[in-house]
Structure 1
Amino acid sequence: MNREEKKLELAARAAWMYYVAGLTQQEIAKALGLSRQVAQRLISGARETGLVAVNITHPVSGCIKLAHELQEKFALTLCRVVPSAGLENDAIQQMLAVEGADVMSQFIGDEQPKVFAVGSGKTLFAVIDALPRQERLQHQCVSMIGAISRDDSGTRYDVPLKLAEKMQGKYFFIPAPLYADSLQDKLIWCQHLVYQRVAARALNADITFLGIGEVELGCPLNTEGFITDDQVNDLKKQQVAGEMLGHFFNHEGVRLNSELDALLTSVPLSSNTTRPVIGFCGGAKKYHAIRAALIGKWLTGLVTDEDTALKLLQES
């Protein structure tokens, strides 16, 4: 047995102890002669590598009702709601990841070849992280967003690549920064034949998976170096509610005309689309962004949390 096989064997043993026997991480560490930190990493790794798949067979009836009401109110074709009452954001994100992975699996499991267009965001990354690895060589994964920041570095959250790795399918990426330095630079990037072929593939994808982001100082776009503090403040003066793929929209779901919008190289989004576009997002700080995306009809499907769903239904 080589080193990698031994590691998987140990992770599987830790997973059995944790998920089936109900042992604590400390008890597992003692039983296996490891530190608690190593035991924790083994259990987490077992989920990430597909050794463990969470399957809760008894649904929460209240969440099912909320999902149905949201689907009706916002004319969605798909909606899932996870329990969140009284939970911290990290716990909510983990449940969104598990539920989102279940939704994605339904599409990925299709034997017919499909093209998946994929956006960005930590929640979307967590959803794909929770997916089990499966051999789906017939599928293709296409990025909808440039991932080069102002200092020429790449993002730590290359979400489309993560999905391609999980499916073991082909990956097509946008060869451009998220925002060009000038209008002339944008034309150069977007007129490149590789860019145009990838963008066309994304626009004609069978299904699109998106994250929904808030726009505040310290938000991912800001901390990852894609937009400056001054640009965040300018967007807030325009009553920005959120963003998807770097497309900013106000509280009515209307696209904002900003200096950044003119320089954006992401694949264009269209409201009222007939193609399936599923958003994965939850938590109190994302509420206004989620609401605006729904009001603007940028999504046909949503995976969110209970508290967010209740608030969306209570507001007119």
Structure 2
Amino acid sequence: MGKIDRKLDQAARAAWMYYVAGKTQHEIADVLGVSRQAAQRLVALASENGLVRVNITHPVAECTALSQRLAHRFGLSVCLVVPSAGMDTASINSMIAVAGAEVMMQFLDQPQPRTIAVGSGRALRATINEMAQIDRPQHSCVSLIGAIASDGSCTRYDVPLWMAEKTQGKYFILPAPLFADNLTDKELWCNHRIYRMVTDKAAQADVTFIGIGQMNYLCPLHKDGFITTEEVNRLAQAGVVAEIVGHFIGENGQRVASEMDDRLTSVSIHSRPEKPVIAFAGGREKFQAIKAVLSGGWINGLVTDEDTAVHLLASDAAA
């Protein structure tokens, strides 16, 4: 066993004692023969490396009520709201990821073969990271979006691959850059046999999981090199506030036309989907984007946070 494996093994032992047996860090230190500070670090290491799965069975009444109101207002078949009052963005995102993983498992922990369409983004990857490993090789994970940037590099957030690794299922990659260099180049990519096969499979997906991106200099498309600063400026000036799998959405929830549409290679999305299309997003910086996507009816499932839910309902009532 390597040094890292031994460390994780010890962290797992500490996690069992702390979370299951209810031992204090002082008691764990005595059992493991380490200092209390070392025991504390081992417990933290277990959490950081995904060795600990939290399952809180008692719902927060206020969050349950918000979920029901959001679902009724925006026609959502799946809606889950996590507590967020007084917490920072990182903590909120962590809780959305944990809750989102539970939602994912409801769809994936099934014996019958399922096709899962998956978008991209940090929130989506964090949610998949929180999923338990399940043996479902009969499932297929299909990418909705090309992971190749304009310089030929691939994003570190190739989310469908992570999903396939969690389920041990097949992974169908979309063989194209997110934005082709020009229309002719796009036609070459999109007319390829494998591209057509993958997009056809995505169109028949049993469930779709996506992230919601905001439109500013901190948005994933810009940070990961898919669009330039000049393009961010033009899109913002055109009224774009949200992005889902490369499609740009305005404040009113409608698609915003852009010259980039002619170069976009991701799978087409449709408003008012018939099958589950579930997004995982929250936090103040994404509020406008979430509101726009909901207003346009692009999703019928959402995992978000308490403050975002309150503001969504309040802004809707004031409209």
Q: Which TM-score band (shorter chain)?
A: over 0.9
**1:256 Cα deviation after fit:** 1.1
Q: Could you tell me how far 1:238 is from its partner in structure 2?
A: 0.8
1:210-265 deviation digits (Å, cap 9, x = unpaired): 00000101221111100000000001101111000010010011111111122110
Match in the other structure for 1:280: 280
1:41 and 2:45 aligned: yes
How many residues get paired?
311
TM-score normalised to the size of structure 2?
0.92
8 Å CA contact 1:18, 1:43 repeated in 2: no
Considering only aligned residues, what root-mean-square deviation do their CA atoms show, in Å? 2.1
The CA deviation string for residues 160-210 of structure 1, in whole angstroms up to 9 with x for no partner, is 000100111110000110100000000000000000000110110000000
Query: What does residue 174 of structure 2 align with?
Result: 174
Q: What is the aligned partner in structure 2 of residue 121 from structure 1?
A: 121
Contact 1:18–1:28 (Cα < 8 Å) also in 2: no
CA contact (8 A) 2:25 2:39 kept: no
Structure 1: where are the runs of 5+ without partners?
none
Identity %, equivalent residues? 49
Aligned to 1:197, the other structure's residue is in SS state: helix
Q: Deviations over 1:56-91 (max 9, x none)?
A: 011100000000000000011110000001100000
2:101 is matched with: 101
The residue identity in structure 1 corresponding to 2:81 is V
Distance 1:6 1:151 in 2: 40
Q: How big is the shift at 1:3?
A: 6.8
* Residue of structure 2 in register with 1:15 after alignment: 15
Unaligned runs of 5+ in 2: none
Quote how far apart the aligned CAs of 1:138 are: 1.1
Is 2:72 aligned against 1:72?
Answer: yes
Give CA-to-partner distance per residue, 1:125-174, whole Å, 9 cap, x none: 10000001111111110000000011110001111000100111110000
- Quick one: which amino acid aligns to residue 270 of structure 1? H
How far off its partner does 1:2 sit? 7.2
Match status 1:233 vs 2:224? no
Structure-1 separation of matches of 2:221 and 2:25: 37
Q: Offset at 1:32?
A: 4.3
Task: Kindly indicate whether the alpha-carbon contact (under 8 Å) linking 1:179 and 1:264 is maintained by their aligned counterparts in 2.
Answer: yes
**Is residue 17–residue 28 contact of structure 1 (8 Å, CA) maintained in 2?**
no
Counterpart contact for 1:119–1:245, Cα < 8 Å? yes
1:284-309 deviation line (CA, Å, top 9, x unaligned): 00001100000100001000000000
Partner of 2:295: 295
For the 8 Å contact 2:18–2:43, the answer to whether it is kept is no
TM-score norm. by structure 1 comes to 0.93
For residues 96 and 190 of structure 1, the distance between their equivalents in structure 2, rounded to whole angstroms, comes to 34
What residue in structure 1 maps to residue 200 of structure 2? 200
Separation of aligned partners in 2, 1:87 and 1:69: 22
SS of residue matched to 1:315: helix
Structure 1: which amino acid aligns with 2:273? T
- What is the rounded CA distance, in whole Å, between the counterparts of 1:19 and 1:161 in structure 2? 31
Q: Does the Cα contact within 8 Å between 2:155 and 2:224 map onto a contact in 1?
A: yes
